[in-house]
Structure 1
Amino acid sequence: MAAEVGTRNWFDAGGSAYALFRPEYPAGLSTFLASTVKGQGRAVDVGCGNGQLTCQLADHFTTVVGIDSSEDQIANATPHRHVEYICAPAERLPLADRSVHLIAAAQAAHWFDRPAFYREARRIAAEGAVIALVSYGVLRLEPTELQARFSTFYTDEIGPYWPPERKLVDGGYAGIEFPFEEMAYPDMNIERAWDFGEFLGYLSTWSAVRRVNEAGRDDILDTFVRDLSDIWGDPTKKRPVSWPIKMRLGRI
């Protein structure tokens, strides 16, 4: 059996774990998004969180606005000289009419009142603007034994603890209304290499894992950590982890 690990040591991560372990989008994503619009004057990242995609877009646009309804997220967003952060809801964007070339929302659109957000997107869209709802799906592990045990954990064991909106993310937003002229996009993946602690640190940021803890079902986490540790082997060994990037991309 691999080295013993204490479940609570892995899953009792604080708020800093979110920024530490959240997967980073590949540079090719912002490059592609910028290529879809004629003018690279202004982009807006709605539901920007800590500004991960916001700052990447700033490499391609003259100005970028990161907007989030959480004051805490905005207070801790990554600063960038071409980025302005604003605390505001997606349904009331504090931007001028016809002033934005790209309207992006990464891993956030499932929380929006989408009809209200879409009305705002149309209002602020410059001629030829593009709207991109970006998500990354369920992670993939190697080898197949790790993937099989993780899939059981994700779907069967903590599945009931996910909020209903999670299904929209898992489906790449395929099931949501999207009243725009749809566009194709290339295959892209987020790729990381994590040791055992880093992988479980990422899982500690999941709302479903927190709900398992709150429900007093530590046995679910205990069993999963033991099983995965056996398969993983040396906990310092880096293993590939990937997420497929999905999008609903459209011309406004």
Structure 2
Amino acid sequence: MKDNFSIQAKGYSQYRPHYPQEMVDCILSHTKSLDTALDVATGNGQVAVMLSGYFKDVHAIDISSNQLQNATQKTNITYTEQKAEATNFKDSFFDLITVAQAIHWFNFDVFYKEVYRLLKPDGIIAVMGYGLFKTNSATDRIISRFYHDILGPYWDGERNYIEENYKTIPFPFEEIYPEKQFFNEFTWSFKQLKGYLETWSAVQHYIKENGSNPFDLIEESLKETWQKSDKRVTFPLLLRIGKM
């Protein structure tokens, strides 16, 4: 698994969007027991925190110690620095395994072998994510140019899995289809918009290669359109649920 997010761990914690309660409710409706859950590549712990309100024990792992240092603490969440593909947990230990906005970075075959080892016989895996957000048309045009033209060469190839709505990832489970398409809507200040865009892995790759922040190329025009808009953003959410 690649570590593209240690550098901007604090920004990731502050600006990455959360998942709606109704999406978590959908996952929980297919979970047979609420004893133990594992959140893989937990980042700032946002999904682990949501799960902690339901499960007796939640384990959350990430390969980035910087991310874990910025994670939200709860008494029933145990954070550890571990690889998704090789954990130290017992066999058949978890009722639910979640992966949010990260599975495209994994070695699929090795990770899924680990999932089969870790899940209880009636356990569930839920793969979550979100695509490119939409907002007002003027801002969307600037974001599209930023995403495709400015950052295009700096995206990792794995980004294609998100653009394909996770439909093309291997998923060797009996699939449970959600009853609806989920979305998440926010009203953002310009600071939040900027903060989120600067968490993109391609932005960090650009900075590393060029020594400058690509956001500077769009900041003034983006600010102008944002000030004239209703400041609403809508994320299409990705969800695949499976059982063994």
Query: When the two structures are superposed, what TM-score results if normalisation uses the length of structure 2?
Result: 0.89
Measured after TM superposition, the shift of residue 67 of structure 1 is 1.1
- Tell me if the contact between 2:134 and 2:235 (Cα under 8 Å) persists in the aligned partners: yes
Conservation of the 8 A alpha-carbon contact between 2:10 and 2:67: no
Aligned to 2:50: 56
The DSSP-based 3-state class of the residue aligned with 2:203 is helix
Partner of 1:140: 134
Distance 1:124 1:79, change over 3 A: same
Query: For residue 152 of structure 1, what is the aligned residue in structure 2?
Result: 145
Tell me what 2:199 maps to: 205
Q: Deviations over 1:193-238 (max 9, x none)?
A: 112222112111122123333343859544422322332236xx76
**1:40 maps to 2:34:** yes
Aligned position for 1:84? 78
Structure 2 counterpart of 1:133, one-letter code: V
Code of the aligned partner of 1:184: Y
Q: 2:61–2:82: 8 Å Cα contact kept in structure 1?
A: yes
Q: Would you say 1:115 and 2:109 are equivalent positions?
A: yes
Give the aligned partner of residue 6 of structure 1: none
With 198-207 and 130-139 compared, the bigger mean Cα shift is at 198-207
Distance in 1 separating the partners of 2:34 and 2:107: 27
Structure showing greater Rg: 1
Counterpart for residue 98 of structure 1: 92
Match of 1:27 in 2: 21
Report if the CA contact (8 A) 2:59-2:78 is conserved.
yes
Q: TM-score with structure 1 length normalisation?
A: 0.86
Answer yes or no: is 1:188 the counterpart of 2:193. no
Aligned to 1:7: none
Q: Spell out, residue by residue over 1:155-181, the C-alpha distance to the aligned partner (whole angstroms, 9 max, x if none).
A: 222121111111112222211111111
**Match of residue 240 from structure 1:** 232
Q: CA deviation at 1:54?
A: 0.4
Write the distance in 1 (CA, Å) between the matches of 2:197 and 2:241.
28
CA gap of 1:48–1:220, structure 2 versus 1, over 3 A, is: closer
Q: Name which of 245, 249, 252 aligns with 2:241.
A: 249
Structure 1 equivalent of residue 169 of structure 2: 176
Which stretch shows the higher mean deviation, 154-163 or 204-213? 204-213
Which structure exhibits the higher relative contact order, with contacts defined as CA atoms closer than 8 Å and separated by 6 or more residues? 1
- Tell me how far 1:15 sits from its aligned partner: 4.6
Gap regions ≥5 residues in structure 2: 1-6
| 1:131 paired residue number | 125
Alignment-derived partner of residue 4 in structure 2: none
Root-mean-square deviation (Å) = 2.1
CA distance in 2 between partners of 1:15 and 1:70 (Å): 9
TM superposition shift of 1:94:
1.6
Q: How many pairs does the alignment contain?
A: 237
Structure 1 residue ranges, 4+ long, deviating more than 6 angstroms after superposition: none
Unaligned runs of 5+ in 1: 1-12
2:225 matched residue in structure 1:
231
CA 213–71 in structure 1, closer or farther in 2 if over 3 Å, else same: closer
Contact kept, 8 Å, 1:195 with 1:238, in 2: the verdict is: no
**Aligned pair in 2 of structure 1 residues 229, 71: CA closer, same or farther (>3 Å)?**
closer
State the partner residue of 1:165. 158
CA distance in 1, matches of 2:212, 2:70: 31
Shift of 1:117: 0.9
Cα displacement (A) at 1:46: 0.7
Distance of aligned partners of 1:62 and 1:177 in 2 relative to their CA distance in 1, 3 Å threshold: same
Using the alignment, how far apart are the partners of 2:211 and 2:77 within structure 1? 42
- The equivalent of 1:9 in structure 2 is none
